[in-house]
Amino acid sequence: MDHAATDAATDAATDTVPAAVPAPVPAGWPTTEAEARAVQDRLRPQVVLDEDGPVPGEGLVTGVDVAYDDERDLVAAAAVVLDARTLEVVERATALGRISFPYVPGLLAFRELPAVLAALGALKSPPGLVVCDGYGLAHPRRFGLAAHLGVLTGLPALGIAKNPFTFSYEEPGAARGAVAALVDGTEEVGRAVRTRDGVKPVFVSVGHRVSLDRACAHALHLAPRYRLPETTRRADALCRRALAEASSSS
């Protein structure tokens, strides 16, 4: 059971009250797969790739994640703001909504973003860098979740995924800190980053306004102890809790 007790204690120490507002689907949100792909192609040119982005270990970093209850057609998103230097929780927010899009590989953003945007909007703190559970430019049309979120919010964003998706990679060295290219054919779309000795790497890609080198540095700074970054671990725990509370009440 992990370190649930430790995490729960830390969460309880947070003074911020999670918001549980219904997440409306943004106006004009696509309904069909063809529309969704057209939206990606239209927004793709707005991705900014010539900024280094925030310095790892400085300022605020926000993790976002989503949990689903298909039976009840419920979705819960969480946004957890951390102090990048200490990795302490600064603020948390959640948002509930209806599932607005099915899971389709390559179109994940349309399923996750409405609730995520609502949770981000409920924060009082500026989010700083946003860390997504998934991919950014490592995407069939180079416009994954993290790139999409970055363009819609203007915030620097990056993606850290648990699986290589359709891409391939050379196994990085066994030591924490080792990296290897994540490639789509000959193009480097991201990197496999080893955050723990001898444990499967995470897959990092640029979203918006962050360089790949710096995105990888953020991944390592955010995961000092576990394979996954604290941002996703915190957001994952919070959205699951919010979903459970929503499902068990009215």
Partner DNA sequence: GCGACAG
Partner DNA sequence: ATCTTGTCGC
Q: 3-class DSSP state for residue 194?
A: coil
Q: Which is nearer to DNA, 69 or 83 (CB)?
A: 69
Kindly tell me the burial class for residue 86, based on how many C-beta atoms sit within 10 Å of its own C-beta (0-12, 13-18, 19 or more): exposed
Residue closest to 230 by CA, chosen among 56, 23, 100, 62: 62
Q: Which is nearer to DNA, 42 or 85 (CB)?
A: 42
Q: How far is the CB of 124 from DNA (least distance, A)?
A: 25
Place of tokens 């830390």: 10
Q: Which is nearer to DNA, 44 or 240 (CB)?
A: 240
Phi, psi of 219 (to 5 degrees): -60, -45
Q: Which is nearer to DNA, 161 or 223 (CB)?
A: 161
49, containing H or E segment: none
Which pair of structure tokens corresponds to residue 241? 């809790």
Phi, psi of 187 (to 5 degrees): -85, 130
Annotated binding residue at 50? Answer: no
Q: Which is nearer to DNA, 144 or 201 (CB)?
A: 144
Using CB under 7 A, list all residues that contact DNA: 65-68, 103, 105-109, 133-135, 139, 144-145, 159, 161-166, 236, 240, 243
Cβ contact 120:26 at 8 Å = no
Q: Which is nearer to DNA, 23 or 126 (CB)?
A: 23
Q: How far is the CB of 85 from DNA (least distance, A)?
A: 26
Residue closest to 203 by CA, chosen among 235, 248, 245, 171: 171
Phi, psi of 201 (to 5 degrees): -70, 170
End-to-end CA distance of the chain: 29
- In eight-state DSSP terms, residue 171 is P
Annotated binding residue at 133? Answer: yes
Binding-site residues sit at 65, 133
Binding-site residues for Mg(2+) sit at 65, 133
